[in-house]
Structure 1
Amino acid sequence: MSKNYDVIVVGAGHAGVEAALASARQGLKTALFTIYLDSIAMMSCNPSIGGPGKSHLVSELGMLGGEMARHIDKYNLQLKNLNHTKGLASRITRAQADKYKYRIKMREIVENQENLEVVQAIVVDLKVCEKKVCGVVDNFGIEYGTKAVVLCTGTFLGGEYIMGDVKYSSGRVGEPASVDLPNRLEEYGFELDRYQTATPPRIAKKSIDFSKMQKLGGETNPRYFSYETEKEYSEILPTWLTFTTPETIKVGQEMLKYSPIVTGIVSTKGPRHCPSLDRKIMNFPQKTDHQIFLEQESIESDEIYINGFTTAMPPFVQEAMLHTITGLENAQIVRYGYAVEYNFIPAHQLNLTLETKVLEGLYTAGTINGTSGYEEAACQGFIAGVNAARKILRKKEIVIDRSEGYIGVLIDDIINKKTPEPYRVLPSRAEYRLTLRQDNVFIRLLEKSKEIGILDKNTTKKLEDAVKEIDDEIKRLKEITIYPTKENNEKLKNIEGGTENSMNSPVSAFDFLARKEINYDNLSEFCETLNLSKLAKEQVEINAKYKIFIEREKAQIEKFKKLEEMEIPKNFDYENVKGLSNIAISGLIYGNPKNIGQASRISGVTYNDISILIAMLKSLQ
């Protein structure tokens, strides 16, 4: 072998970058393989980060020491706070990325990272020594030795480009696919399947009539993704909103016969939450006013991304449909939309550490695991990179459970639950949404972050101080009593926006803060308050106002933890447990869960099966 590394990461998309940086920052000699150096951290589709569930992922990643959070805070065109009227658990951040700067600056970080080398080559095979990965082979026949491999191949594994009736081998348009590696993976015993994804056309900014569209801005002082970000002001480049018209639907219906979905050229499933325009026309023929958002891809370019116009129809159909949309009557397409079909490894073949069950030392992360989205990929890449390094260093590997973060929900779901399309994180998938908020990431993942040890030490200390500040202030407020005096009731009546205008019995200052019209600032009119940090003040208020709901969910989490702590012995004989259904036995044998909690989430395992298992395990104690 010509060169040896501790960890080799294959693929330099969002998963690969996080995996390589996480490994290198733990002191391991790491190599990052990419087909093209210029495509490191490329945003192949939507130039945005964040949204429902996804913003939580990015903030969690940043708290643990990943790069995406602080990077998007720096290189964006607009940041927007969303869903703030829909309840505490729904609040999110969405960033319109500067696609060019994001990619170029991420390459700089990768190239300047200590312990990390970048190699431009296509990995065509793995070197396997007694069911354990010990190296890779590239397309030049060069062999590289390693102790662990992280596969982050994105849409390149057996990738095929599709537009209209055109279909050929390609990972993304213009880039070669990884053709040999999927065949080799099947030979090593992996089950492979196929998904597809698509992207809209891009148009020239100068060809758009913005006067017919609604201009949308962002926030000058948004909630950032990273706790390391200290910006007083965020730049804002607007996006624009327009709509399809009845003519769009008419033209689309007339030309559906050219759709690869209709012709059968595309036969695999795509992301359900990001359907193509031709699929919208097929599924919702009565709806004519589909939203279309126009987003500039970079300050360095006038290329406009058409959010809501995903399609792989032939070029002449894309143009005909596009010109029926309000404000896009004369729009010039500079890149046509297309679809990509690709191989992935169904994630039931993984452990919760993202190491595969088939080959020791092989980890997979991102799209190869059947997921969709930059955020999902980045989080998996980070966890895989951290765990590959920790296994080599003989440290306890990191597993985030469902009650600790959306990252835990993501990994647990893809391993234990089947989805018929590329998996996307959504708030509805998390049982403990009120606990797993974006605003309290620094509290719930502080200990995990310290255990990993990558996050900046000054930031960690600042957040530790904030957690103590919160705990101390809640305790102090609980010890202060506010009485229903005439003076206090007069003050309540004079507070603007108050609906509960009197108090009848003494309460603690903490319970008083739960009143709708009271915040930490005007609480000072009733008792002494402190000069809290912004982080601490927000959490003290939230804990007061949502105390009942938070405590209720905390009790649910405690029950969940008990199931997670009830371990199932290795090589447990499910077939000899009386009362288990055949479906449950099959799923449990294949899934090989480590505990009752994981077993309960395996497809086909019922509540009755879990009750039987718990009784059996207790009898063995």
Structure 2
Amino acid sequence: MFKEMYDVIVVGGGHAGCEAAAAAANMGSRTLLITMNLQTIGQMSCNPAMGGIAKGQIVREIDALGGYSGIVTDRSAIQFKMLNLSKGPAMWSPRAQNDRMRFAEEWRSALERIPNLDFYQEMAVGITMEKERITGVKTSLGLEIRGKSVVLTNGTFLNGLIHIGLKNFGGGRAGERASTGITEQLVSLGFDTGRMKTGTPPRVDGRSLNYQKMIPQPGDESPGKFSFLDTPTLSTQRECHMTYTNPEVHDLLRDGFSRSPMFNGRIQSIGPRYCPSIEDKIDRFKERERHQIFVEPEGWNTVEVYVNGFSTSLPEDIQFKALRSVEGFENVKFFRPGYAIEYDYFPPTQLTHTLETKLVKNLFFAGQINGTTGYEEAGAQGIMAGINAHLKVSEEEPFVLRRDEAYIGVLIDDLITKGTEEPYRMFTSRAEYRTLLRQDNADLRLTERSFKLGLAGEERLERVRVKEDQYKELVGFFKKTSFVPEEVNPILESLDSKKVTQGDKLVKIFSRPKVRMHHMAMLNSVSTYIKEQKLIPEALEQAEIQVKYAGYIEKEKANADKLQRLENIRIPKDFDYMPLSSLSMEARQKLSEIRPATISQASRISGVSPSDISVLLVFLGR
């Protein structure tokens, strides 16, 4: 069945696996995607939504790199919102509710259209090696499939254990068995491993809910989208709703704490800090009398509803009683109860920035196996692992994104240099250059680099060039074109902005906080220019951001340039830190373990002080 050798074998068909397989195959590698169930490729295991704060930026970056997450999201969306519009553009974050079944269907269809990609349904139970290099995978039927590189994207399936109250059973997801064998083999090879936990709320019958008692949560009036390509924009949207827990709900939940695996010691592993279970919320925040519950439809043509904010592993009878005391849920019927799941992960400090393992050549990890949580974080790692697996077997230079180039760069750098002991989730606060890393300019930052890799196509590159040329010319127009007070003062007066007494350049007016592009378009000179040049909306938005935030953008660029000087100072791979008595012992141990590639990376390792960096610079002759 598998006589020929694959260039890249991807294990797992979740968000990381899909992006990894697509990237490697589209770049020209003969690729195999092996997964335990071909019917669950691209499955949304938890909430039926993509994006959100910082996560939306990641999806747009994946799209700019030629990935599929944004396209699939747009084609299966049922609602779209741009979050944080009251704040600056660095904080704007797109989010979409999705049709769960259509999302998986779109992923499957997209993958099946890639000529270089093969599929196989079976459990991978181990890897095969020669010396320290990967040679393929072993399956539960005893097959050995040969591959020049392997990307492991096992999600929550590695020795997965599902908890509902005092009951637990093996599984990687509700209704699906766990994956065994891989952890044990990797540990025998010298890999460190740990356990993490995540959870999911009940799914309920929407016909049993009273939406009249809830607060409607509509989408944007003019919905946007994720992909920079010409994907469909929503013309109609489904409403979500919001309700609240109450003291009665909390008391009912507390009654079950003695049977909670989280409180009785059955669950030892750490769950996501920023997505706690409902029992964790009422225990940690005892002073709060209520918590938000978001009621999210699972699709266009289903009555199934996702109860966001009610993640739990309490016994099913406690879940049912408590949820029936939530306003609007008095007659709720369950499709299935919530549960917690424990699974194996491998501390990501065992990887390089390409996501290749340090112990086994040509073996890559991506997704929850690295200790992250979230579809978006998984997809980002997947596309980077797929790209670098292809480049490695093609003997080409690796592809690494810096912290000032992408949220994906921040994500991977955090994992590699700092590791994580709890499920890692991306936030805008993790990025020190978030003014540069906006969702609106992901295409400007990344598409040309992806095109050079052979991943992004001509259509993407042409769209970026049009957008870039138009916004730069428009900014130049504002800088060189003058206004007369008589024309701008009525606009300024309507905005309660101070009137002007003499003419100046348009950029001076546009820089004022209350003045937006649609106000500028009221001026005859601007309106005429926009029409004559046939400017696209994306160019108008980009020009406005560049004018209003020019000072902040330039400052961050300068800071990034300073950091880049340290990035250029490389540390030899075999550098011996232990004899350097001027370094603290903690620094010597951490540096020896993580093996940073550059001084900049070394400076971000927890426990390595500025004085340690100074010592390193001296020893490196800098």
TM-score range relative to shorter protein = over 0.9
Q: Quote the residue 2:41 is aligned against.
A: 40
Q: Is the contact between residue 30 and residue 117 of structure 2 (CA under 8 Å) also seen in structure 1?
A: yes
| CA distance 1:285–1:522, change in 2 (3 Å) | closer
Q: Quote the residue 1:235 is aligned against.
A: 236
Q: Is the contact between residue 355 and residue 362 of structure 1 (CA under 8 Å) also seen in structure 2?
A: yes
Q: Quote the residue 2:619 is aligned against.
A: 616
Query: Residues of 1 paired with 2:290 and 2:267: CA distance?
Result: 26
Q: Is the contact between residue 134 and residue 148 of structure 1 (CA under 8 Å) also seen in structure 2?
A: yes
Query: Residues of 2 paired with 1:478 and 1:615: CA distance?
Result: 47
Query: Residues of 2 paired with 1:565 and 1:252: CA distance?
Result: 55
Q: Quote the residue 1:509 is aligned against.
A: 506
Query: Residues of 2 paired with 1:441 and 1:9: CA distance?
Result: 26
The alignment partner of 1:575 has SS state of coil
Q: Quote the residue 1:498 is aligned against.
A: 495
Cα displacement (A) at 1:509: 3.0
The alignment partner of 1:326 has SS state of coil
Consecutive unaligned residues of structure 1, counting only runs of 5 or more, are: none
Q: Which amino acid is 1:588 matched to?
A: L
Decide which of 565, 570, 593 is 1:567's aligned counterpart: 570
Q: Is the contact between residue 297 and residue 305 of structure 1 (CA under 8 Å) also seen in structure 2?
A: yes
The alignment partner of 1:261 has SS state of coil
Cα displacement (A) at 1:180: 1.2
Matches within 5 A, 1:121-132: 121-132=122-133
Query: Residues of 1 paired with 2:493 and 2:321: CA distance?
Result: 55
Percent identical across equivalent pairs? Answer: 38
Q: Is the contact between residue 195 and residue 343 of structure 1 (CA under 8 Å) also seen in structure 2?
A: yes
Q: Quote the residue 1:116 is aligned against.
A: 117
Query: Residues of 2 paired with 1:149 and 1:452: CA distance?
Result: 20
Q: Quote the residue 2:556 is aligned against.
A: 553
Q: Which amino acid is 1:510 matched to?
A: V
Consecutive unaligned residues of structure 2, counting only runs of 5 or more, are: none
Cα displacement (A) at 1:541: 1.2
Deviations 1:267-305 (A, max 9, x none): 110111110111111111221210001111122321111
Query: Residues of 1 paired with 2:208 and 2:518: CA distance?
Result: 50
| CA distance 1:582–1:526, change in 2 (3 Å) | farther
Query: Residues of 2 paired with 1:421 and 1:232: CA distance?
Result: 37
The alignment partner of 1:491 has SS state of helix
Cα displacement (A) at 1:105: 2.1
Deviations 1:62-101 (A, max 9, x none): 0000001011011011111111002221111111110011
| CA distance 1:200–1:520, change in 2 (3 Å) | closer
Cα displacement (A) at 1:588: 0.8
Q: Is the contact between residue 600 and residue 606 of structure 1 (CA under 8 Å) also seen in structure 2?
A: yes
Query: Residues of 2 paired with 1:123 and 1:504: CA distance?
Result: 74
Q: Is the contact between residue 219 and residue 234 of structure 1 (CA under 8 Å) also seen in structure 2?
A: no
Q: Is the contact between residue 498 and residue 516 of structure 1 (CA under 8 Å) also seen in structure 2?
A: no
Q: Which amino acid is 2:80 matched to?
A: L
Further displaced range: 586-595 or 9-18? 586-595
Is 1:395 paired with 2:396?
A: yes
| CA distance 1:383–1:224, change in 2 (3 Å) | same
Decide which of 537, 540, 543 is 1:534's aligned counterpart: 537
Is 1:580 paired with 2:583?
A: yes
Matches within 5 A, 1:253-292: 253-292=254-293
Q: Quote the residue 1:100 is aligned against.
A: 101
Query: Residues of 2 paired with 1:286 and 1:497: CA distance?
Result: 45
Query: Residues of 2 paired with 1:232 and 1:388: CA distance?
Result: 34
Matches within 5 A, 1:461-480: 461-480=462-481
The alignment partner of 1:265 has SS state of coil
The alignment partner of 2:467 has SS state of helix
Q: Quote the residue 2:428 is aligned against.
A: 427
Is 1:306 paired with 2:303?
A: no
Is 1:446 paired with 2:447?
A: yes
Query: Residues of 2 paired with 1:76 and 1:232: CA distance?
Result: 9
Q: Quote the residue 2:415 is aligned against.
A: 414
Q: Quote the residue 1:360 is aligned against.
A: 361
The alignment partner of 2:404 has SS state of coil
Further displaced range: 517-526 or 263-272? 517-526
Q: Quote the residue 1:370 is aligned against.
A: 371
Further displaced range: 79-88 or 451-460? 451-460
TM-score, normalised on structure 2? Answer: 0.96
Query: Residues of 1 paired with 2:502 and 2:554: CA distance?
Result: 23
Q: Which amino acid is 1:119 matched to?
A: Y
Cα displacement (A) at 1:160: 0.8
Q: Is the contact between residue 225 and residue 233 of structure 2 (CA under 8 Å) also seen in structure 1?
A: no
Cα displacement (A) at 1:508: 3.5
Query: Residues of 2 paired with 1:154 and 1:260: CA distance?
Result: 22
Query: Residues of 2 paired with 1:37 and 1:598: CA distance?
Result: 39
Deviations 1:139-194 (A, max 9, x none): 00011111000000000111111111112221112211111111011112211110
Q: Is the contact between residue 485 and residue 501 of structure 2 (CA under 8 Å) also seen in structure 1?
A: no
Cα displacement (A) at 1:452: 2.3
Q: Quote the residue 1:179 is aligned against.
A: 180
Q: Is the contact between residue 416 and residue 591 of structure 1 (CA under 8 Å) also seen in structure 2?
A: yes
| CA distance 1:189–1:234, change in 2 (3 Å) | farther
Cα displacement (A) at 1:533: 1.8
TM-score, normalised on structure 1? Answer: 0.96
Number of residue pairs the alignment of both structures matches: 615
Q: Is the contact between residue 243 and residue 292 of structure 2 (CA under 8 Å) also seen in structure 1?
A: yes
